[in-house]
Amino acid sequence: MRHRDELVSLVRLDDVTKSVTLADDSTLEILRGISLEVSSGDHVSIVGRSGSGKSTLLNILGMLDAPTTGTVAFEGAEVGRMRSGRLDRLRGNNVGFVFQQFNLLPGRTALDNVMMPLGHAKGRLFWNRRQIAADMLERVGLGHRVEQIADRLSGGEQQRVAIARALVRRPVLILADEPTGALDIDTGASVMGLLDEVATETDAALVTITHDLHVAARARRHYRLDAGRLETADLSRAFEASTLAASVPSSLSAATTGAEEASS
Amino acid sequence: MTGILGALADAWAEIRVHRLRVLLSLIGIAVSVAALTAVFAFSEYQRQYQTEQSDRSGGRAATLVVSEMNIDGSPVDVDAFDERVTAASERFAFSHTARVVQGLAVPVALSDGIVDVYARLYDPVYPQIHREQLLDGRWFTDSDVEALAPPAIITEALWDRIGRVPLAQHPTLALAGPAGGTYQVVGVTPRQTYMDESLGVDLLFDAYRSRVDALPEGAQVQFEVWVPQGMVEEIAPVLAMDLRAGLPEGQTITVNRSDWAAQPGNLNAMATFEMVVGGIAAVILALGALSLINIQLVAMRQRVREIGVRRAFGATSGRVFVSVLLESLVATTVAGMIGIAIVIAILRSDWVVTSMFSGIQDVPPFPMRAAVIGLIASVAVGAVAGFIPALVALRVKVIDAIRF
């Protein structure tokens, strides 16, 4: 087990830029000169407006996308040099994703969905995948919904299935992209509570991308992404200006809410 | 190991979830595999049927026909010929040798007077060589030669003329002419083809010969010898040489094969039939495969997101490729097996085969060759139909697919 006071670097971005060529041959810079280090057990939030490059950054953190320049290292190994098969396995072993639109496999049961990542594992994880997945669903409070078709569950339940799926292989890095974006405030709060809890339990690093300050406030380190540049954010002022303090869970009592201003 | 098992499990789950889509696309495959299998099975039955039919006329493979003639066209001394061939037959230790005389007409007393009836004379082993079949009663046996009332086997047409008296009541036939007398009807041959409509009677060669001074003019005796097919090439020339040795001047003996296997034309016709009908089935199969590719490609557009999610959770591109390929492969294999099973079920019922090939005696077991060809075809179609969608799946970019 890794301890919080001796943080080990999990993902390290050095001077990463990402640009794409548009149809008219012009270049669009999405990310500029981003350096970020995420260590195990870390809770990081990144806020930013739509189109500020949050998802691209998360893709690069999750090794789904490669930067145009700069380097990405996972546990010290440079990702850019790995062959795609090895990268896929590395991602499968170490990274769990939670998406805004849940992205559950349609038509499959909750259990099938949670089993899916284990189907790409080896050994005990593969052979016991049904039991492990069932235990994980139990852990997120869906033990009674195991055989339900995933897309017929409520939004909150679907996101809990997605969380169970993201965590079932005990990843060291959890990447959540607007995890509460499709949920109402209360459901979102309880889902975030669960995500925080399970991440802390397994000592996994949690990187959350959001434009919801309530969600952002749960992290220990806060960043703001603006026009492709990453800056440390001080959210306290935003919270002070908020009028929704009451709906923020007690753990955030230090920070008053300010969702309105930040998310606009 | 776990990779392949996992891919197989994914493929099976995918098929289960999209039952309807898979079912619709596979009906065509199942039907065309069934057609293909049926074609080859039919061709096998047809071969058996043709063999049986030609066995009736020419004898089983390999039947040698030995005949003698005088160069000047004068009648042959039947008894001398008989003696000569019988002696040779003993030397060669042939197991099945029969004397045959065809084309005789014997007068038979029927209710409307004396009628000339087409007659054959042969030894008891003849029906065995020609795979002939009985409607009722029995064939001649060796002991029949001594019977005081010699036995006769009649055609169904003649049986009808004498009132279809059950054989248990021992019907008899009164022959006029040189071999006249009362013959006991011991068997009836069935109507199988239009050739069986004529009145006909089969008599034992020895029983007839002992009643006449000489065979009627024009009647030609032939010996038929049933020899192993693998040895016929060696036996025939040696036998011919042996028989010709010491023949009086002006006489000649011929030894020919009369069975179907000696005529490659039959086999060629069979192969042509198989090729034409098999080709049609293959085209149907190709159409089925095309529609399967089509459906899978359309389905792939909806599945881009799903594939992206899988990739995000550690599925390698190889794994995705194999899963998609296996989906088609597993599905068409199952469909093919269903098609084959249906064909087997239909053809296993004796009624279908015997009504399609009336008069077939030995219904061959369902030909494994047909089932194997059907199975190979369905696996091949699955591989081809799965390959293209799998290539598409391979090109799915994870980030495009997920679109946070």
| B262-280 burial: b if 16+ Cβ within 10 Å, else e | beeeeeeebeeebeebbee
Q: Closest partner residue to B309 among A105, A169, A209, by Cβ?
A: A105
CB-based contact, B310 to chain A, within 8 Å: yes
Predicted confidence at residue B392, as pLDDT, reads 86
Q: Which residues of A have a CB under 8 Å from any CB of B?
A: 54-55, 58-59, 62, 64-65, 84-85, 88-89, 91-93, 95-97, 99-100, 103, 105-108, 112, 116-117, 119-123, 126-127, 165, 169, 177-178, 209
Predicted confidence at residue B139, as pLDDT, reads 92
| B376-393 burial: b if 16+ Cβ within 10 Å, else e | ebbbebbbbbbbbbbebb
Identify all chain B residues contacting A64, using CB atoms and an 8 Å cutoff.
311-312, 398-399, 402
Give the phi and the psi of residue B362 in degrees, each rounded to 5. -100, 95
Identify all chain A residues contacting B318, using CB atoms and an 8 Å cutoff.
85
pTM value? Answer: 0.66
Average pLDDT, stretch B337-346? 90
Alpha-carbon distances, residue B220 vs B67, B79, B154, B252, B297 (angstroms): 8, 12, 21, 14, 73
Could you report how far apart the first and last alpha carbons of chain B are, in Å? 33
pLDDT in tens, A252-263: 444 444 444 444
Please judge whether A88 and B317 are an interchain contact, meaning their C-beta atoms are less than 8 angstroms apart: yes
Residue B270 pLDDT exceeds 70: yes
Q: What does the mean pLDDT of chain A come to?
A: 82
Angle made by CA atoms B378, B384, B387, in degrees to the nearest 5 = 135
Please judge whether B404 and A64 are an interchain contact, meaning their C-beta atoms are less than 8 angstroms apart: no
Give the phi and the psi of residue A65 in degrees, each rounded to 5. -135, 150
Chain A nearest-CA residue for B307: A105
Average pLDDT, stretch B355-377? 82
Query: In sequence order, which residues have a C-beta less than 8 Å from that of residue B167 and are 6 or more positions away?
Result: B136, B137, B185, B186, B187, B188
Average pLDDT, stretch A10-14? 90
β-bridge pairing B151-155 and B96-110? unpaired
Of residues B354 and B201, more confidently modeled: B201
Identify all chain B residues contacting A178, using CB atoms and an 8 Å cutoff.
404
Angle made by CA atoms A244, A250, A252, in degrees to the nearest 5 = 70
Predicted confidence at residue A248, as pLDDT, reads 46
What does B330-344 look like in DSSP terms, one character per residue? HHHHHHHHHHHHHHH
In 3-state terms, chain A is what percent helix, strand and coil (to 5)? 40, 25, 35
State the smallest CA–CA distance between residue B365 and chain A in angstroms: 43
Predicted confidence at residue A237, as pLDDT, reads 67
Predicted confidence at residue A238, as pLDDT, reads 67
Q: Closest partner residue to A88 among B2, B10, B316, by Cβ?
A: B316
Query: In sequence order, which residues have a C-beta less than 8 Å from that of residue A52 and are 6 or more positions away?
Result: A225, A226, A227, A228
Q: Closest partner residue to A107 among B17, B310, B317, by Cβ?
A: B17
Residue B242 pLDDT exceeds 50: yes
Please judge whether B404 and A89 are an interchain contact, meaning their C-beta atoms are less than 8 angstroms apart: no
Average pLDDT, stretch A217-243? 78
User: Which of B309, B317, B394, B397 best probes binding to A when mutated, by most A CB atoms within 10 angstroms?
Assistant: B309
**Spacing of C-alpha A152 from chain mean position:** 24
Give dist(CA B119, CA B129) in Å, integer: 18
Q: Which of B125, B23, B39, B4 is nearest to B347 (CA)?
A: B39
HSE, CB side, 13 Å, CA atoms: give it for residue B395.
Answer: 8
Give dist(CA B146, CA B144) in Å, integer: 5
Burial of residue A133 (CB within 10 Å: 0-12, 13-18, 19+) is buried
pLDDT in tens, A154-197: 888 898 899 899 989 889 999 998 888 878 888 888 888 888 88
Q: What does the mean pLDDT of chain B come to?
A: 85
Q: In this structure, are residues B340 and B36 in contact, taking their beta carbons and an 8 Å threshold?
A: no
Amino acid at B302: Q
Residue extents of the structural domains in chain A? 7-236
Predicted confidence at residue A24, as pLDDT, reads 86
CB-based contact, B311 to chain A, within 8 Å: yes
Give dist(CA A56, CA A179) in Å, integer: 16
Please judge whether A99 and B313 are an interchain contact, meaning their C-beta atoms are less than 8 angstroms apart: no
Average pLDDT, stretch A82-109? 88
Q: Which of A24, A28, A25 is nearest to A228 (CA)?
A: A28
Predicted confidence at residue A251, as pLDDT, reads 45
Please judge whether B313 and A58 are an interchain contact, meaning their C-beta atoms are less than 8 angstroms apart: no
Please judge whether A88 and B315 are an interchain contact, meaning their C-beta atoms are less than 8 angstroms apart: yes
Please judge whether A169 and B314 are an interchain contact, meaning their C-beta atoms are less than 8 angstroms apart: yes
Predicted confidence at residue A261, as pLDDT, reads 41
Please judge whether B6 and A120 are an interchain contact, meaning their C-beta atoms are less than 8 angstroms apart: yes
pLDDT band at A239 (very low <50, low <70, confident <90, very high): low
Name the strand (E) or helix (H) holding B27.
Answer: helix B19-58
Residue B123 pLDDT exceeds 60: yes
- Interface A:B, Cβ pairs < 8 A: 80
Chain A nearest-CA residue for B305: A103
Q: In this structure, are residues B132 and B189 in contact, taking their beta carbons and an 8 Å threshold?
A: yes
Average pLDDT, stretch A198-215? 86
Please judge whether B2 and A108 are an interchain contact, meaning their C-beta atoms are less than 8 angstroms apart: no
Residue B185 pLDDT exceeds 90: yes
Of residues A202 and A225, more confidently modeled: A225
Identify all chain A residues contacting B326, using CB atoms and an 8 Å cutoff.
none
Please judge whether A108 and B17 are an interchain contact, meaning their C-beta atoms are less than 8 angstroms apart: yes
Please judge whether B313 and A97 are an interchain contact, meaning their C-beta atoms are less than 8 angstroms apart: yes
Average pLDDT, stretch B348-359? 76
Amino acid at B277: V
Predicted confidence at residue B262, as pLDDT, reads 73
pLDDT in tens, A104-155: 888 889 999 999 999 888 888 889 999 999 998 988 888 898 898 988 898 8
Q: Give me the residue label for tokens 């010996």.
A: B223
Predicted confidence at residue A245, as pLDDT, reads 44
Chain B nearest-CA residue for A112: B13
Question: Residue A49 corresponds to which tokens in the numbers above?
Answer: 């407006």
Alpha-carbon distances, residue B175 vs A153, B115, B124, B158, B203 (angstroms): 94, 10, 21, 13, 11
Of residues B281 and A251, more confidently modeled: B281
Amino acid at A46: I
For chain B, how long is the longest CA-to-CA vector?
109
Please judge whether A93 and B6 are an interchain contact, meaning their C-beta atoms are less than 8 angstroms apart: no
Secondary-structure class of domain A7-236 per CATH: alpha beta
In 3-state terms, chain B is what percent helix, strand and coil (to 5)? 60, 20, 25
Residue A45 pLDDT exceeds 50: yes
Average pLDDT, stretch B166-186? 90
Please judge whether B399 and A121 are an interchain contact, meaning their C-beta atoms are less than 8 angstroms apart: no
pLDDT in tens, B29-40: 888 888 888 888
